[in-house]
Amino acid sequence: MEKSLIDIEFENITENLKVIRERVSKAALASGRGEDEVKLMAVTKTIDPARINYAISQGVDLIGENRVQEFQSKIDELDMTACKAHLIGHLQSNKAKKIVGEVDVIQSVDTVSIAKEIAKHALNRGISQKVLLEVNIGCEWSKFGFDISEVPERAAEISEINGVKVKGLMCVAPICEDEKKLLNIFENMHKLYIDICNKKIDNIDMEFLSMGMSGDYETAILGGANLVRVGSAIFGPRIYSDKH
Ligand SMILES: *Cc1c(COP(=O)(O)O)cnc(C)c1O
């Protein structure tokens, strides 16, 4: 019998995950850490529930979505019993209510005011929402995030907001041909992460340094990332169906 298209895609996902996991392990070891010390997130924007559930069946235990609405439209069809979800895309304040408490971590806190908005809805639900602070490292196509220089101060400010818990930092790196320059950017993020750890601020518990995507996850790990967000290298090129 001929293999159906979806079977071929499933095989590709299995194969891609295998290769990526090997590379993640290798890079983790090369950076002086254990192979389990770097977490692989599967970025599932534009990917349909069947493919996401297949990836979950292959051991993916963390997914990342960019848009609140897209996440909501898929979540009921996903088997999330052994899988967590993070929001990784820019969050508009009018969408905060819909996502607070629905994801384990909101990685894309890029202003103090969105942190306050998240906190308000978290308190209403009687929870504390885990968040990461998004750092803008000078990427032309990502206009979101705190400037590196203001991160320690903003982190301290956000740590005092009841209803959110700062768990780390995230960034989107520029597309950069120069491997050394890119590594340097990731290393600077790692320094910032360690600096904030060392300040031992109440209500800040640094657990995640989220950086690295399909094109640069190995470099990001060498630079100190402990969470990489990989989409197209797992699922293939994204097909955008509407006005994204
Ligand atoms: C889409 C996206 C990713 C994954 O990108 P790939 O290049 O497909 O791996 C990671 N992080 C964020 C914030 C994204 O929007």
Nearest CA to ligand 1 atom 12: 88
What secondary structure letter does DSSP report for 218? H
More confident residue, 1 or 65: 65
Does 116 map to a domain? yes
What pLDDT, on the 0 to 100 scale, is given for residue 142? 67
* Average pLDDT value for residue range 106-134: 98
Quick count: other Cβ atoms within 10 Å of Cβ 31? 18
User: At residue 40, what is the residue type?
Assistant: L
Domain that holds residue 51: 5-234
* Average pLDDT value for residue range 69-97: 98
Does 11 map to a domain? yes
**Count of domains observed in the chain:** 1
| pLDDT at 82 exceeding the cut of 80 | yes
- Ligand 1 pocket, residue 172 CB under 6 Å: yes
Which of 234, 237, 232, 210 is closest to 89 using CA atoms? 210
161-193 tens-digit pLDDT: 999 999 999 999 888 788 999 999 999 999 999
What is the spatial distance between Cα 42 and Cα 231, in angstroms, rounded to a whole number?
Answer: 6
Of all atoms in ligand 1, which is nearest to the CA of residue 108? Answer: 13
What is the spatial distance between Cα 84 and Cα 52, in angstroms, rounded to a whole number?
Answer: 12
Determine the distance separating the centroid of ligand 1 and the alpha carbon of 202, expressed in angstroms: 31
Does 187 map to a domain? yes
Does 104 map to a domain? yes
Determine the distance separating the centroid of ligand 1 and the alpha carbon of 23, expressed in angstroms: 18
8-39 tens-digit pLDDT: 999 999 999 999 999 999 999 999 999 999 99
What is the spatial distance between Cα 113 and Cα 95, in angstroms, rounded to a whole number?
Answer: 13
Q: Which two tokens stand for residue 222?
A: 């060498």
- % pLDDT > 90, the chain: 86
* Average pLDDT value for residue range 148-152: 94
Q: 121: which residues sit within 8 A by CB, 6+ positions away?
A: 96, 97, 100, 101, 129, 163
What secondary structure letter does DSSP report for 177? S
Does 110 map to a domain? yes
Extended strands (E) in 93-219: 105-109, 129-136, 146-147, 164-171, 204-210
What pLDDT, on the 0 to 100 scale, is given for residue 123? 98
Does 241 map to a domain? no
Does 171 map to a domain? yes
What is the spatial distance between Cα 134 and Cα 167, in angstroms, rounded to a whole number?
Answer: 11
Check which CATH number belongs to the domain holding 54 and give it. 3.20.20.10
Does 240 map to a domain? no
C-alpha Rg value of the chain to the nearest Å? 18
